[in-house]
């Protein structure tokens, strides 16, 4: 499978617990994005990486959220002390990021988080 892959597909956790999601982008894509999607809404931007550098973080991303892309390949998104409001689909996307024109984003299937 050469697409964007995310793990796990589903995560159920109790309020207050920490969770970590993983995203493997398309090989050789140097841009990686995290989005959050709630039911009936469009994806909301959270953060993105150019290689290993985190270039932008949304104001939606509270201090409880942290994302890493240590070697410029896969990325992890950690949510600490989860709250019920964190329940959502967390989508990862990647793009080749070559040149100056905007690149097409390819999305993974997402991780559905349910906080009880």
Partner 1 sequence: GENVEQHPSTLSVQEGDSAVIKCTYSDSASNYFPWYKQELGKRPQLIIDIRSNVGEKKDQRIAVTLNKTAKHFSLHITETQPEDSAVYFCAAITAYNTDKLIFGTGTRLQVFP
34 and 91 Cβ atoms separated by less than 8 Å: yes
Find all residues with CB under 8 Å of 62, minimum gap 6, and list them. none
Q: How far is the CB of 46 from partner 1 (least distance, A)?
A: 9
Among 36, 108, 111, 113, binds partner 1 (CB under 8 A): 108
CA dist., res. 102 & res. 86, Å (int): 30
Q: How far is the CB of 98 from partner 1 (least distance, A)?
A: 12
Which stretch of DSSP H or E encloses residue 104? none
Q: How far is the CB of 104 from partner 1 (least distance, A)?
A: 6
Per DSSP bridges, beta strands 44-50 and 31-37 are antiparallel
Q: Interface residues for partner 1 in 28-47 (CB under 8 A)? A: 31, 33, 40-45
Q: Which residues bind partner 1 (CB under 8 A)?
A: 4, 31, 33, 40-45, 48, 55-56, 91, 97, 100-102, 104-110
């Amino acid at each position: 499978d050469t697409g964007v892959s995310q793990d796990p597909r589903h995560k159920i956790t109790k309020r207050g617990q920490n969770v970590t999601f993983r995203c493997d982008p398309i090989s050789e894509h140097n841009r990686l994005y995290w989005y959050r999607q709630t039911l009936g809404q469009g994806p909301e931007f959270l953060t993105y990486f150019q290689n290993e550098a985190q270039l932008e973080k949304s104001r939606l991303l509270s201090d409880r959220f942290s994302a890493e892309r240590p070697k410029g390949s896969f990325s992890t998104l950690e949510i600490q002390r989860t709250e019920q409001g964190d329940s959502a689909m967390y989508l990862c996307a990647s793009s080749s990021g070559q040149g100056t024109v905007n690149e097409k984003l390819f999305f993974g299937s997402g991780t559905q988080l349910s906080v009880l």
